[in-house]
Amino acid sequence: MQKTTKILYLLTTDDWGGAQQYVADLAVHFHRQGCAISVAFGQVDSKHKLIDILKQHQINYLIIPHLRRDINPIKDLLALWEIFKLIRQNDFDIVHANSSKAGFTGRLAAWVAGVEKIFYTAHGWVFNEQIHPLQKIFFQFLEKIAALFSTRIFCLSPSEYQLAISKNIIPAAKLSIVSLGVDLDDIKKDSQTPNQFSHSLAAWREHYQIIGTVGNFYPTKNTTLLIKIAHELINIEHQPYRLVIIGDGGERPRIESLINQYQLQKHILLTGQINHPASLMRYFDLFVLPSTKEGLPYTILEAGALGLPVVASHVGGIGSIIDNGQNGLLIDNINVKSFVTAINQILSHKNRAKWLGQNLRQRVKTQFNRQSMWARYEQEYNFN
């Protein structure tokens, strides 16, 4: 009788974002393939979106009590011990870690526990953030050490792969590029799901052009810059714009304060986290992402699946989705003026906006489909 493959997916937190969506996609797929799947994480999110998905598919999940995003030597050692015990008690065949903190502690614990296959996905290198140079060196050192414990490290885009090579952090033989994938039919279905904000956005759409984004309120998402961009756009004559921000997080008080400062309460809608972002994205005329750091964002793929034109920062793997001027616009100088010029340029020419959106949809359909992503991981896990 063939042994059931036992897989553990590790995350630092279940606070819903790209890494959580990625793990959910893989966990559900390999659960359907007959594997015994467990997903473990710390810092339980009050919205419980990841937990709800895992429960829906009857996938086992576990909480690592001391696993936290911030660096704390005592808690980090306790988290390492908790992950080690979890792995030893369950005898996993594969441990696949995600996000920086779980990536290091999880791989080390798996190696000490004697796991044969240890994988890691880099959802944007932490040393590529806007941090102190000494912190960059420290995080590069940690990635170099963790690579010793890894069977394979997955990059979501060629740019992330090249960055790891150029910094001489990880041997090329241990690196693979596996892009994210989405299902266009699923996103279309999600877009038709009723939402409490749908009526308001439908009313807005009759009088205004709607700019929107999706993302957690983290500093790297640069949402405060987006408020400043909105302030400039609102003041452009004969261009009635409105802004919708789908997401939530620790920076919300700062964002709300900035909205009040600029008196934009009637011009900006903060929806908080919602289960089906596409249900509101369908009302967008343009998707904007001013991040200072990204891996390969699901949100741009989802925008593309809906045929939206995109204006985004030229960071991380975004350039592997967007060809500047062909299916969206990329911003190298991440500032208010650059974004305002690009957004106004697209929304002032509806035919061009439609053309850019159609081109992006075709790119997502052919190069970023979920079936291809699953097939690659079946191959990497040596299921084929």
Question: pLDDT, tens digit, for every residue of 236-294?
Answer: 766 689 999 999 988 999 999 999 999 999 999 999 989 899 999 999 999 999 999 89
CATH number of the domain that residue 336 is part of? 3.40.50.2000
CA–CA separation, 65 vs 88, rounded Å? 17
Tokens of 32: 């359907």
What's the pLDDT at 384? 54
| Three-class secondary structure assignment of the chain | CCCCCEEEEEEEECCCCHHHHHHHHHHHHHHHCCCEEEEEEECCCCCCHHHHHHHHCCCEEEECCCCCCCCCHHHHHHHHHHHHHHHHHHCCCEEEEECHHHHHHHHHHHHHCCCCEEEEEECCCHHHCCCCHHHHHHHHHHHHHHHCCCCEEEECCHHHHHHHHHCCCCCHHHEEECCCCECHHHHHHHHCCCCCCHHHHHHHHCCCEEEEEECCCCHHHCHHHHHHHHHHHHCCCCCCEEEEEEECCCCHHHHHHHHHHCCCCCCEEEEECCCCCHHHHCCCCEEEECCCCCCCCHHHHHHHHCCCCEEEECCCCHHHCCCECCCEEEECCCCHHHHHHHHHHHHCCHHHHHHHHHHHHHHHHHHCEHHHHHHHHHHHCCCC
CA–CA separation, 327 vs 330, rounded Å? 10
Say whether both 284 and 362 belong to one domain. Answer: yes
- Give the domain range for residue 350: 184-367
Q: Classify residue 325: in a domain, yes or no.
A: yes
The number of folded domains in the chain is 2
Q: 129 pLDDT exceeds 90?
A: no
Say whether both 198 and 129 belong to one domain. Answer: no
Strand order across the beta sheet in which 152-155 lies: 60-63, 36-42, 6-13, 94-98, 117-122, 152-155, 175-177
Q: 335 pLDDT exceeds 60?
A: yes
Say whether both 173 and 280 belong to one domain. Answer: no
What's the pLDDT at 1? 43
Q: Classify residue 326: in a domain, yes or no.
A: yes
Res. 132 pLDDT band, cuts 50 70 90: confident
What's the pLDDT at 48? 82
Give residue 225's Cα distance to chain centre.
Answer: 19
0.85 exceeded by pTM: yes
Q: Classify residue 1: in a domain, yes or no.
A: no
What's the pLDDT at 260? 96
Q: Is the dihedral of CA 81, 85, 86, 88 positive or negative?
A: positive
Say whether both 207 and 148 belong to one domain. Answer: no
Say whether both 210 and 177 belong to one domain. Answer: no
Say whether both 203 and 221 belong to one domain. Answer: yes
Say whether both 212 and 251 belong to one domain. Answer: yes
Tokens of 292: 């200072």
Q: Classify residue 339: in a domain, yes or no.
A: yes
Say whether both 173 and 197 belong to one domain. Answer: no
Longest dimension (CA), the chain: 72
Contact at 8 Å (CB) between 57 and 37? Answer: no
Q: Is the dihedral of CA 310, 314, 319, 325 positive or negative?
A: positive
What percent of the chain is predicted at pLDDT more than 70? 98
Per-residue pLDDT tens for 32-82? Answer: 999 999 999 997 776 788 999 999 999 999 999 999 988 889 999 999 999
Return the higher-pLDDT residue of 77 and 384.
Answer: 77
Least confident of 129-138, 177-186, 253-262, 270-279: 129-138
Say whether both 153 and 196 belong to one domain. Answer: no
Tokens of 65: 């009590």
Q: Is the dihedral of CA 177, 278, 274, 265 positive or negative?
A: positive
Per-residue pLDDT tens for 294-311? Answer: 989 999 999 999 999 999
Q: Classify residue 223: in a domain, yes or no.
A: yes
What's the pLDDT at 46? 67
Say whether both 271 and 356 belong to one domain. Answer: yes
Please identify which residue in the block is written with the tokens 């369950």. 90
Q: Stretch 203-215: mean pLDDT, rounded? A: 95
Res. 378 pLDDT band, cuts 50 70 90: very high
What's the pLDDT at 2? 64
Q: Stretch 360-372: mean pLDDT, rounded? A: 96
Say whether both 191 and 334 belong to one domain. Answer: yes
Say whether both 68 and 161 belong to one domain. Answer: yes
For the chain, give the mean pLDDT.
Answer: 93
